[in-house]
Amino acid sequence: MCMLTHFAYPLVPDSETAPISHPALLRRHEPLPDVPTRPRFQVVMAGIAFFHIKEISTGYVRGFRANHNEACALTRFLESHS
């Protein structure tokens, strides 16, 4: 188990004239990487071979399908157009 008690890069530069180039110091001003957003919709089983597409934040049902693959396709469509 890694407890992050060591550094992978030296904190002291090789020569006294070179600036410190620790990766943690360089990343301070870089923009954050693209973090995937949380999904807004969820496929929920609502009966025998029947699925609701539920909006997670409100709990409202935004659609329904009798086929799981079609329900997932509708969920992807709603996610891309929201």
pTM: 0.56
Q: 28, 20, 70, 32: which is closest to 49 by C-alpha?
A: 70
pLDDT digits 0-9 by tens, 40-81: 999 999 999 899 999 999 999 999 999 999 999 999 999 998
Tell whether 44 is covered by a domain: yes
Task: Tokens for 43, please give them.
Answer: 């496929």
Listed range (11-20, 27-36, 48-57) with the worst mean pLDDT: 11-20
The verdict on residue 14 lying in a domain is no
Q: CB neighbours (10 Å) of residue 80?
A: 7
Residues spanned by the domain of 49: 38-80
The total domain count for the chain is 1
The reply to whether 18 falls in a domain is no
More confident residue, 22 or 80: 80
